[in-house]
Amino acid sequence: MIADASFLKSLFCGIIPESMAFPFPGPSRAEAEETLAILDTLKRFMRTVYEPQRGSLDSPISQEILTEAGSLGLFGLSLPRAYGGRQLSPTSFARILQELGALDPSLALIVRAHQTLGAHPLVRHGTVGQKARWLAKMASGQALAGYALTEESAGSDAAGVRTYARSEGTNWVLDGKKIWVTNGPIASVFTVFARTSPVEEGIKPKLTAFVIDRDDGIITNAGINMHGVRGVQVGTLLLENVHLDASRVLGTVGQGFMIAVETLNHARLASASAASGSARQLLDLSIRYARERAAFGRAIGDFGLIKDKIASMLSEVFALESMVFLTTGMLDGAGSDCSIESAACKVFGSEVLQRVAEGAGAIAAGRGFASGHAVERGLRDARHHLVLDGTNEVLRAFIALSGMQAPGRDLANVVKAMREPIKGFGLLGEFAVRKAKSALGRERLTRVHPLLNREVVLFEDYVSDLAKNAEKMLRRHGVAIAEMQYSQRRVADLAIDLYALAAVLSRTSRAIERRGEEGARREVDLACIFAASAEKRMAANVAGFDKNDDEQRKNAAARAYQDGAYPFELF
Amino acid sequence: MKILVPLKRVADPDNANKVKVTAGKLDTTGMQWKPNPFDEYAVETALRLTENGASTKVRLGEVIVLTVGPKEAETQLRGALATGADRAIRIDATDDDLDGDVVARAIRAVVEKEKPDLILVGKQAVDGDSNQVGQLLAEYLGWPQATFAGTIKSEGDTALLVGREVDGGTLTLRVTLPAVVSVDLRIVAPTSVSSKHSPTHTYADGVRFAALMAIMAAKKKPMVEFKLSELVSDAAAKIAYTTHELPPPRKAGIKVKDVAELVDKLRNEARVV
């Protein structure tokens, strides 16, 4: 009865699949030890090789450094062992990315884009021949991999892809232009998505993924001068009359859209992992600064409003970390579907990092406003998480609509069943039982430590609210729900907060079990702080389903579009 | 050349402020452990002495790392295996039951089994700072020793020219193998260690770190365990710790108005001028 073996999708149906999130997952002793050994090596590498050569963290990371990082093994961390990679578990990989995100967000992006975007399609869909040809080079870092999906007319909307692969016998000829290719200027292999059906108005294109070497005739430009993560080179890719034989098709012809989406799902968790590390780093800086910087005769950390910021940052970083490592733990085990969990991590992670960076900016005040200061760079670097791997706006729609598919499917079946009452009896019965259940009481969360009873009640209440409102929205709007972005946002934000809360409760319960109430005092405090702030957001979102100014806002924007600008002059 | 390197785990110096004392005893729960830095220098020295020219695959000789401690101390041994040591030995013991003398006698027993050509030790461990094990070991074995080595030049792997760090300069000794050599900080400078079969490249300053692939491969390298009682008949430590206490917290300083007050305080309170 677990919807597609996804924790979060189940919550949409009002079901709490407790065993998926409790106890809080963690690596085995041996794996933890190995990961710590890798982290130790990584820190030594950063101190002795990386930092002396790196120069300004706002300059592009040099080829020499990338070569060193490659021989260390950073580019093969998650790639298969058979091709020279380390094949780390999702949890260990996330832990390393977290550290990289703390040490240099640019390096973290280069490393994760290479593995989770560029190489991942090949890992998942490559033939043995294709893997042998490219994966070993990718794992050693000898060949960086790029992922080329976005175009001028196609960003989050993959259906707008114009790059066209024309079939010529068994061969293909590609023409088109890709933009925003991370590592584009330095990568030598690219996974390129092209339509293999001609452009026809109103018809979704068939996309196909191709593996293309730089030598095949790809032209890349020198890269875009970016606002943040300036160590990374991101550029455009020109394909002009690029001839490829059939061995370059990844998966099957027409499978490209699925490959693109699946890869992005994978990449989003990596984004959140790195973001959690960057957030920790900025938090640490803020704690140090609050203790050291004096004003009015005492450390600024003594003041209530600084303490308030530090407490918020702590609880959010704690929640983010818990959420990421709950998700990787689910992936370590039996293959759960974590597509919307990963999207939730990405949205939450990028926004927590944004808030933490702003908090750090507020604490560092004038100093953090100076160009090149760690906090100033942190603020700029943080933004890439909001934009890359699918904008947060699109991901909210994705979370809400994918999540509501499960209740939606049930509803559709129920309608069908009502037409044929006898055949559909079982289904109706099940639906009725669940309705009765949600009317009589909540689905229970039983494995949380009793110290957190208040938070458990909160969680259960809002899970039931999520399910009720998801169903209500589906009944109210039917298929038009796809257009109801305000409702989607409320549904998605509820789901994200609930997922974060589940992760926090699970991790805190584990801490209490291991170290007792006193030993887990810090976790308990942060769990309560996080739950209280999540409660405010969730209450507002639930109330907003029925009482809101959505229409006014739409109208205001529509009039502004007509006006073409801000419409007033005071005098 | 067969080299034995004893290696001790110590509380991570970067997290040393988390050390707790409960009822006069050190409380090590939750403590983070690191290899003693001087022992890491000894491992690095051993690896440099067994380098096989440009070939990185096979060593000219064998490097064995050894520790005396609980099961968890294997983490530090595996770290050394990952950087290139060939095999590891752990002598099972709890930290509380040890002193430099027991450790030296336990190592002697292993030396008699393994018959290494050279024992390289860190000059001291950064926790107890006893600076005893190397010297005691040389005495028990009746071997020549050279302490505080800042440079080592191997003469055909039968003798070593050891530059010792002493007050005011370097004292160079020639020791015939087998011998015990304890190493100091400068031994990991780029050109401190040399032999006929040194590679042509100069080393980076400091100790090498393991490539990520090597960390996995290290799990397959041999690790054997001995009981302390199998190796020494009398395992009683000669040093008993009566109590431990943390250094008292520093008192807050005071601000002086002017130089005159400063001089006054230095003269009459501190009595230093």
Q: What is the pLDDT of residues A190-206, one digit of tens each?
A: 999 999 988 777 777 88
Q: What is the ipTM of this complex?
A: 0.74
Using CB atoms, which residue from B82, B205, B213 is nearest to A86? B213
Q: Tell which of B31, B212, B255 to mutate to test the A interface (max A CBs under 10 Å).
A: B212
Cβ <8 Å between B212 and A38: yes
Instruction: Identify the CA nearest to B135 among candidates B169, B111, B103.
Output: B103
Residue A439 clears pLDDT 50, i.e. is over it: no
Chosen for mutation from A28, A31, A41 (greatest number of chain B CBs closer than 10 Å) is A41
* Helix ranges, A421-549 (H): 425-440, 453-477, 485-519, 521-544
Report helix, strand or coil for B19. Answer: coil
CA distance A41 to chain B (A): 6
Please, which residues have CB within 8 angstroms of residue A362's CB and are 6 or more apart in sequence? A309
Nearest chain B residue to A85 by CA: give it: B213
Residue A3 has a pLDDT of 44
* pLDDT confidence bin for B54, thresholds 50/70/90: confident
Mind listing the pLDDT tens digit for each residue in B179-218? 999 999 999 999 999 999 998 888 888 999 888 888 988 9
CA dist., res. A560 & res. B1, Å (int): 82
> Does position B273 have pLDDT exceeding 90, yes or no?
no
Residue A323 has pLDDT above 60, yes or no: yes
Q: Is A239 left (phi over 0), alpha (psi -120 to 50) or beta?
A: beta
Q: Which residues of chain B make contact with A73, given a CB cutoff of 8 A?
A: 211-213
> Per-residue pLDDT tens for B90-123?
999 998 889 999 999 999 999 999 999 999 999 9
Is residue A123's pLDDT more than 50? yes
The CATH number of the structural domain formed by A393-546 is 1.20.140.10
Domain boundary assignment for chain A? 29-140, 145-253, 393-546
pLDDT band at A412 (very low <50, low <70, confident <90, very high): low
Q: What is the mean pLDDT of chain A?
A: 90
Q: pLDDT digit string (tens) for A208-240? A: 999 999 999 888 887 788 999 999 999 999 999
- Chain A residues close to B75, C-beta within 8 Å: 33, 36-37
Q: Quick one: tokens of A506?
A: 């699970």
CA distance to partner chain A, nearest, from residue B273 (Å): 32
Q: Which residue of A has its CA nearest to B80?
A: A37
Q: Enter the tokens of residue A97.
A: 């990315």
* pLDDT exceeds cutoff 70 at A4: no
Query: Is A48 close to B78, i.e. CB distance below 8 A?
Result: no
Contact A48 B209 (CB under 8 A): yes
Q: How confident is the model at residue A407 (pLDDT cuts 50, 70, 90)?
A: confident
Quick: pLDDT tens for A476-520: 888 888 889 999 999 999 999 999 999 999 999 999 999 999 999
- List all residues 6 or more positions away from B152 whose beta carbon is below 8 Å from its beta carbon: B45, B49, B160, B161, B162, B163, B181, B183, B187, B192, B193, B194
> What mean pLDDT do residues A327-333 have?
92
Q: B72 CA to chain A: closest CA distance, Å?
A: 10
The per-residue pLDDT for A130 is 96
Name all domains of chain B by residue range, CATH numbers in brackets.
Answer: 2-268 (3.40.50.620)
Nearest to B211 among A33, A34, A72 (CB): A72
With an 8 Å Cβ cutoff, are A77 and B206 in contact?
A: no
Mean pLDDT of all residues in A298-313:
95
The stretch A308-319 carries a mean pLDDT of 98
Whole-angstrom distance, CA of residue A63 vs CA of residue A69: 10
pLDDT band at A55 (very low <50, low <70, confident <90, very high): confident
Give pLDDT tens digits for A543-553.
Answer: 999 999 999 99
B76-94: per-residue pLDDT in tens?
999 999 999 999 999 999 9
Task: Give B110-156 pLDDT, tens digit per residue.
Answer: 999 999 999 999 999 998 899 999 999 999 999 999 999 999 999 99
**Fold for domain A145-253?**
Butyryl-CoA Dehydrogenase, subunit A; domain 2 (2.40.110)
CB pairs under 8 A between A and B: 43
Query: Does domain A29-140 fall into CATH 1.10.540.10?
Result: yes
Residue A49 to residue B75, Cβ atoms within 8 A: no
Are residues A74 and B212, on separate chains, in Cβ contact within 8 Å? Answer: yes
Interface of B to A at Cβ within 8 Å reads: 75, 78-79, 82, 204-206, 209-213, 215-216, 219
